[in-house]
A and B are shown apart, each in its own frame.
Chain A
Amino acid sequence: MKLLTHNLLSSHVPGLRPGGGFPLKIELGHPSELPPEPLPDYEANEEFLRRLHHVLLEVEVLEGSLQCPDSGRRFPISRGVPNMLLTEEEA
């Protein structure tokens, strides 16, 4: 799963407050660095854009999970594919 896709996902566990499903927290099999705050005037900063592109599109989570910020429910990621299905009871 790419970071860009993660930025677009929201938890859909029923009963959350509006906006409570975003952003999902990424939990990795091993610890990893996350990017710093965006620099001011980042659009013109080629070096920053390269690093941002790399982190958004060239780094992938292969094993781990996405955790719903409000409910704590975890959506697993395996072989790079997140499984967003809820169980029978949850739905």
Chain B
Amino acid sequence: MALRRYLLLLAQEHLEFRLPEITSLLSLYGGQFSSEQEIRVNSPFWILSIPSEEMARGLMKRTVCAKSIFELWGHGRSAGELYESLKNYPADKMLPYLQSDSTYKIHIHTFNKTLTQAQKIKKIDALEFLPFKGKVNLKTPEHIFWILEDYGMNPNDVPEEPIHLYFGRWIADGQRELIESYSVKKRHFIGNTSMDACLSFIMANHARVKPNDIVYDPFVGTGGLLISSAHFGAYVCGTDIDYNTIHGLGKASRKNQKWRGPDENIRANLRQYGLEKYYLDALVADFSRPIWRKGMLFDAIITDPPYGIREAPRRMGSQKETVKSAEKSTESHFFVSSSYHLSDIFFDLLKFGAEYLVMGGRLVYWLPIYRPEYTEEIIPRHPCLKLISNCEQMLSSHTSRRLITMEKVKEFKDQDENSYLLDGQYLPYRGHNSFREKYFSGVTKRIAKEEKDNQK
């Protein structure tokens, strides 16, 4: 199948998360990166070879990492190379968009440099050799062409001439406007740890959520992660051990608000965006004790487990421990909080994914990391799940969290259950358990140092 070349213009944030997002989305449409990609991972310009414009449009209907996609007509490391490349682009591929009865405009975009209007016009005029027959219409053109110039990655050392130049026909924009329309600032119901909108869309894309999927979040909280899946047409459900959060009761997380209002629960959040029909259910449940019948399967599990910093990980205890009572309601609280060690959460999460995901279904979750001790070996593993990607987001100089994406590639058999634990590579890394202390140790040291400095 003949591949065509497209240029992706990406947003320069969440850099590590972009390639897995684009790869996952391409695979959703039956495509993949071809082997000779020139992907410079940190650059905003990626050239993709994919079989059709339809696939390019499909990609843009989902991505929040990419701003726009263009049908690539030419590129080079200098203006001369760009023009040569354009002269070599087959005329029969250009002509449909250059007809005399059509309208067009040319836009110029520069990365890491600002050009004057005069400079821009000069560069556009230099393309006069292209057989444009249509009329220029700056307001509502039928076809839009872009010149894109890359002036490198160093804002302190901007070259005189661009290091890469591209010319292409604009096809579509991505979904970055969702970031604003789904912003947590405007959301009716939030919690202490609600995920920001861009990351929650990235997670749904890493998970390859598609319409009519069933997506589950076992630590659902206020349901922020489910909203993005619902936006993409999946039916969503969640569980949480915290009765008040599921029912939308108790203290508010907003600064100047004391108690939660009547419109604050997961269902109301979905209703705010017109997505109520995708709400399946929210239940109060302890993830360490699954409530699902055997044989039932989810298409994706997307979650942000508690790391013990702003919300403490809890589960039901079997010994007598301190009883925590809920604030307002009279029901939930016959549970006893025993500490749910982080490494056990991940162990349970992977086991749950192996058992309850469809084949090819994905588990996407955040793993808190203490950076001085990080190696790839500490990423939890399971024989039924394949690690797809691992993207870091810094939280502080010594802590970060990694978005882990795993795919079910092997059926779960009961005898798998715990025997694989004996295999060295699956031993749970116990270091996760002390994440809370490690997170705060850096803070404590810094405060001590500041106090010492102030005393001088």
- Beyond A9-B292, A9-B293, A12-B290, whether A87 also contacts B335 by CB under 8 A is yes
Minimum CB–CB distance for A63 against chain B, Å:
12
Residue on A nearest B249 in the bound complex, by CB: A79
Classify the interface of chain A: helix, strand, loop or mixed: loop
Residues of B within 8 A of A64 (CB): none
Residue on B nearest A60 in the bound complex, by CB: B281
Residues of A within 8 A of B286 (CB): 84-86
Q: Does A2 make an interface contact (CB < 8 A)?
A: yes
| CA of A58 to CA of B426, assembled, Å | 43
Q: Which among A9, A76, A80 is the interface contact of B331 at CB below 8 angstroms? A: A76
Contact check, B289 vs A78: say whether CB atoms are below 8 A apart.
no
Q: Which of the segments B31-39, B65-73, B250-258, B315-323 contacts the partner chain?
A: B315-323
Residues of B within 8 A of A76 (CB): 331
Interface residues of B, count at CB 8 A: 31
| CA of A84 to CA of B284, assembled, Å | 6
| CA of A22 to CA of B296, assembled, Å | 12
Contact check, A8 vs B293: say whether CB atoms are below 8 A apart.
yes
Q: Does A4 make an interface contact (CB < 8 A)?
A: yes
Q: Does A19 make an interface contact (CB < 8 A)?
A: yes
Q: Does B143 make an interface contact (CB < 8 A)?
A: no
Q: Which among B237, B241, B293, B336 is the interface contact of A21 at CB below 8 angstroms? A: B293
Q: Does A32 make an interface contact (CB < 8 A)?
A: no
**In chain B between 268 and 327, which residues have their CB closer than 8 angstroms to a CB of chain A?**
280-286, 289-294, 296, 316-318, 320, 323
Residues of B within 8 A of A91 (CB): 289, 316-318
| CA of A3 to CA of B246, assembled, Å | 19
Q: Does A5 make an interface contact (CB < 8 A)?
A: yes
- Beyond A9-B293, A21-B293, whether A86 also contacts B316 by CB under 8 A is yes
Residues of B within 8 A of A10 (CB): 291-294
Residue on A nearest B282 in the bound complex, by CB: A81
What are 13 residue pairs bridging A and B, where the CB atoms are less than 8 Å apart in the complex?
A5-B237, A5-B283, A10-B291, A10-B292, A11-B291, A22-B294, A79-B247, A81-B246, A81-B284, A84-B283, A84-B291, A85-B316, A88-B335
Q: What 17 additional pairs, Cβ within 8 angstroms, besides A5-B237, A83-B283, A84-B286?
A: A8-B296, A9-B293, A10-B291, A12-B290, A80-B267, A81-B281, A83-B284, A84-B239, A84-B284, A84-B285, A85-B285, A85-B286, A85-B316, A86-B286, A86-B289, A87-B334, A91-B289
